[in-house]
Structure 1
Amino acid sequence: MEDKKIFRLALFTAIFGLVGMMVSANYIMPQTVQIKDMNRGMLDKEVSVEGLVTSVSQSQKGGTYFLDLMDGTGKTKVVIFESVASEIQKTNITPQNFINRRVKIDGKVTEYQGSLEVVLKDASSLKIVA
């Protein structure tokens, strides 16, 4: 009988904890970092970076965009995959509109050919600051 009560309490606590995590997951903000502080220990983690877009280029196939972002401490690439780029373009903004603009980007740190870059999560994860 005592084991049943303990089991029920443990089950209730686990379910309550999981529901709480799912509800609060949308409100957890990514860690704000400077580009110089990005490292391989942050791979696959969500970060927030703010800086000036110095150039925009497009993949050979044309769907993916690459923004060069500089924050005064360093420079990194921001990758905007085709699906996210089309979301942005639905608002009548093209990635070229971000050149020489200060932006805040939330995305995942990845590595490509030995360099760290940030992959934009979705269209709402890119905000023009100035």
Structure 2
Amino acid sequence: MYDGGKIIVGLIIGIGLLLSPFFYNAGKAVKAPEPELTPKAKEAKVCVAPTPYMRNNHMHLLDDWRQTVVRNGERYYKASTGKMYYKSLQVTCLDCHSNKSKFCDQCHNYIGMDPYCWDCHIVPKENK
């Protein structure tokens, strides 16, 4: 009358299909890469913002810099430490983080992100 057996089989198949991506990827997780710092970045020991913030929000910071420079003409950023930085990817950021393949590309490739920074900015030359 209610075909309880068919309903249970259907539920098991449905739950199996919903959980199959989790079973497929079980044990395949890879630790996020650690960007390789250049000697100049290691020597400086500080960035324009704390490392955890920069890992998660560097694009927000760069977008904000772009907006305030282009729209308001504000060229300097006051860090939480009180130090002033020139708002520029080319001049400020790439001064310490000049190795694009070992710094930028490692994390962006890991998350499958293709940043548009290099559509306008010059890709830094890397020392071999």
Which is strand-richer, 1 or 2?
A: 1
Same fold by TM-score, threshold 0.5 exceeded? Answer: no
| Greater RCO (CA < 8 Å, at least 6 residues apart) | 2
Relative to its length, the structure with more helix (as a share) is 2
| TM-score with structure 1 setting the length | 0.30
